Amino acid sequence: MSIKIFFKKLDISKIHTNYYPIMKIILCQEVTNLGKKDDIVNVKPGYARNYLIPRKMALLFTPSNLKILEHEKEIENTKVNKEKRQAIKLKEKIEKISLTFPVTAGEDGKIFGTVTEKDIEELLLKEKFKTDRHKITLPEHIKETGVYMVKIALHPEVDAEVKLWVVSKD
């Protein structure tokens, strides 16, 4: 009878926590199935000591490391805000211009070939605006003469629109 009482008082959950201790860490980069950069996560000590920390993927969760993390976040936020302000200024300048692209076209207004992002990039370079052609978005394939609005991604939160006139050389 005393053995049954012993087993009833024994709390199994306490035994398991001793076998699987956890460690708090701060992730320095995105880790698959664990978290994103700057996340604070709990992992097993062996995983942290043997894999994450030696590969500079994580830091121990300490007050000093937390202060470093907050300071780096502030620096990154100021950098992102500065880039956004520069993108807004560039957007204002770009939206004031209008691009004209002369092409050879048939009588019905259909052009021979198509106007591509690379052509628009070259037109912007002539206007002294350097941009990557991958950031230029055309509304549709330009195969006819007319007026088109072209979107240019200057920043993840800032897009500029340029008026593009596709005209016949004749």
Q: Residue 8: its pLDDT value, please?
A: 43
Cα dihedral across residues 139, 145, 146, 150: positive or negative: positive
Burial letters 51-82, b for 16+ CB under 10 A, else e: ebbeeebbbebeeeeeeebeeeeeeeeeeeee
Tell me: pLDDT of 40 over 50.
yes
List the domains of the chain with CATH numbers: 2-66 (3.40.5.10), 93-168 (3.10.430.100)
Q: Residue 119: its pLDDT value, please?
A: 92
Write the pLDDT tens digit of every residue in 96-150: 999 999 999 888 889 988 899 999 999 999 999 888 889 999 888 889 999 999 9
Q: Where are the strands (E) in the chain, listed by range?
A: 23-27, 40-43, 58-60, 98-103, 110-115, 136-137, 142-144, 146-155, 158-168
* Rounded distance between C-alpha atoms, residue 15 and residue 9, angstroms: 13
Write the pLDDT tens digit of every residue in 57-111: 999 999 999 998 899 899 999 999 999 999 999 999 999 999 999 999 888 889 9
